[in-house]
Structure 1
Amino acid sequence: MRPKIIDADTGHELWTAVECAKYSGTARGTFTSYAGRGKAPVPTTKLHGLTLWDSEDVKDWHANRKARQPHDEEK
């Protein structure tokens, strides 16, 4: 079983810090540190003690983050 949390208003999937970190290729602690310092998306909500992010916000943030990184051939 692979349960998902979907926002009833937007239809977007909501992700935990672990899911955000996995998608962005960072450690959970790194992702939450980024979020706490305003360098990653702001959490959308809390549910039963879980902090949740809108998956679309995380995907957009990650795409912009990758676009700003130098290309491997330029290193």
Structure 2
Amino acid sequence: MQPKIIDADTGRELWTAIECARFSGTARGTFTSYAGRGRAPRPVAKMHGLTLWDSKTIHEWVEERNAKKAARES
């Protein structure tokens, strides 16, 4: 079973730090450090001890990071 957390207002999937880290190719600690220093999106909710991020925002953030990285490498 792979449960998902869906925001009732937007219908968007909400991700934990582990899911955000996995998607962004970073370690969980690295991702939370980025978020704490404003280098990653801010969380949108806390629920039952879980800090949650909007998956669409994380997708956009990763795309932006990848575009910046590609520009630096060219």
Report how many aligned residue pairs link the two structures: 73
User: What does the per-residue CA deviation read over 1:21-67, in whole Å, with 9 as the maximum and x for residues that have no partner?
Assistant: 00000000000000000000000000001000000000000000000
Instruction: Give the structure 2 partner of residue 16 of structure 1.
Output: 16
Instruction: Give the structure 2 partner of residue 63 of structure 1.
Output: 63
Structure 2 SS opposite 1:69: helix
Structure 1 segments of 4 or more deviating over 2 A? none
Structure 1: 5+ residue stretches without partners: none
Shift of 1:12: 0.4
**What TM-score results when the alignment is normalised by the length of structure 1?**
0.93
Instruction: Give the structure 1 partner of residue 52 of structure 2.
Output: 52
**What TM-score results when the alignment is normalised by the length of structure 2?**
0.94
Q: What is the alpha-carbon root mean square deviation over aligned residues?
A: 1.2
Shift of 1:4: 0.1
Shift of 1:70: 3.4
Structure 1 SS opposite 2:70: coil
Percent identity (aligned): 67
